């Protein structure tokens, strides 16, 4: 984001009334490669193509807030790779990290990664360092330190079903695993901030949070997430969970979160009630069925329904539920932005 967009984001988070609400999207490898006419593997392996795709997005949609902005990532493989996960990279499918823990007894033998040297993390940093002059020449800055959340990383290291089952069967061991992952994530976030002093936000992404109940959230998720959101002195503490969020919604503010991107199972109005209006909400037009598969008219109707259903439009960023999905056309994205801009309340 450029400086003006960043100040707009901060104003929204402070609760200032902005009309119409800003339009914002999480954009990364599910959407950008296909939209920019390249394979997913080309996007990951070519710094030039990665940079051009991101620059093209900000040129074509200059009034849209793209978060985190110039996201240097390798899909779900980024953090698990640092723990030694074998990463599979098809030409034009999402990469996948194979699990490395097959028994809870292996947790204590898990290495403690160094984000400066291990896995794909040095490549994430180098890509941004090489691109930084071009990013800043375009008037933008690197704003966010980004990491997958502890439960999300744990689910890749040992498998989602296995991790969720062991939360009940072996809670002490799961806490040891989450402690190790959280220590690593603190180092990873701090290293990003060390490399890029312009960072003033943290983005954590953890859909596994939506698979657990309120008690398990308070025990297994909240302490570790709160620690990570408090690890850096930043203005924006952004959490993405586009799986069900009712069990955790009331605790988001207490977790240290001030910006939340959710799924489509709940309405923004419901979330405003559950969070008592204390958290900025970013969502939640259906991403696949409307934004990607619908017509521009479908997009317009969905955006209007969302805006008309809000009793309070403070602390709102108009977006889709989750990140930008594959297949969203420029035409549909323009219809979304145009509809918000023309909304008169």
Model confidence pLDDT, tens digit, residues 53-82: 999 999 999 999 999 999 999 999 999 999
Backbone angles phi, psi at 7, to 5 degrees: -65, -35
For residues 286-306, average pLDDT: 97
Confidence of residue 124 (pLDDT cuts 50, 70, 90): very high
Task: Determine the topology of domain 3-342 in CATH.
Answer: TIM Barrel (3.20.20)
pLDDT in tens, 142-176: 999 999 999 999 999 999 999 999 999 999 999 99
Q: State if pTM tops 0.95.
A: yes
> What residue segments make up the domains of the chain, in order of their start?
3-342
Q: Whose structure tokens read 């969970």? A: 241
Beta strands in 5-105 (DSSP E): 24-26, 65-67, 87-88, 96-97
Instruction: Tell me the per-residue pLDDT of 184-201, one tens digit each, with 9 for 90 and over.
Output: 999 999 999 999 999 999
- Band (pLDDT 50/70/90 cuts) for residue 345 is low
pLDDT band for position 88 (cuts 50, 70, 90)? very high
CA-CA-CA-CA dihedral for 199, 118, 31, 305, to nearest 10: -50
Cis peptide, bond prior to residue 284, ω within 30 of zero: yes
For the segment 232-249, the average pLDDT, to the nearest whole number, is: 97
């Amino acid at each position: 984001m450029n400086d003006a967009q960043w100040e707009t984001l901060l104003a929204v988070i402070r609760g200032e009334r902005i009309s119409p609400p800003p339009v914002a999207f999480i954009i990364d490898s599910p959407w950008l490669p296909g939209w920019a006419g390249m394979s997913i593997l080309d996007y990951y392996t070519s710094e030039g193509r990665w940079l051009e795709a991101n620059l093209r997005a900000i040129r074509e949609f200059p009034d849209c807030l793209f978060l985190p902005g110039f996201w240097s990532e390798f899909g779900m493989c980024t953090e698990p790779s640092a723990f030694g996960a074998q990463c599979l990279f098809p030409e034009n499918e999402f990469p996948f990290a194979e699990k490395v823990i097959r028994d809870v007894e292996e947790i204590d033998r898990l290495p403690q990664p160094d984000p400066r040297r291990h896995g794909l993390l040095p490549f994430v940093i180098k890509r941004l360092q090489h691109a930084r002059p071009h990013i800043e020449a375009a008037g933008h800055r690197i704003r966010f330190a980004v990491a997958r959340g502890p439960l999300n990383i744990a689910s890749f290291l040992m498998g989602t079903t296995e991790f969720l089952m062991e939360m009940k069967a072996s809670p002490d061991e799961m806490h040891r695993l989450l402690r190790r992952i959280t220590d690593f994530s603190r180092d990873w976030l701090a290293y990003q901030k060390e490399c890029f002093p312009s960072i003033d936000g943290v983005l954590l992404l953890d859909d596994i949070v939506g698979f657990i109940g309120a008690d398990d959230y308070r025990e297994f998720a909240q302490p570790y997430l709160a620690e990570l959101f408090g690890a850096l002195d930043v203005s924006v503490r952004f959490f993405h969970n586009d799986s069900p969020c009712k069990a955790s919604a009331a605790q988001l503010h207490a977790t240290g979160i001030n910006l939340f991107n959710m799924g489509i199972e709940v309405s923004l109005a419901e979330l405003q009630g559950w969070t008592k209006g204390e958290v900025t909400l970013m969502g939640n037009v259906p991403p696949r069925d409307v934004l990607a598969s619908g017509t521009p008219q479908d997009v317009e109707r969905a955006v209007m329904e969302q805006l008309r259903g809000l009793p309070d439009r403070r602390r709102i960023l108009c977006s889709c539920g989750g990140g930008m999905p594959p297949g969203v056309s420029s035409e549909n994205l323009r219809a979304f932005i145009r509809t918000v801009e023309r909304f008169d309340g």
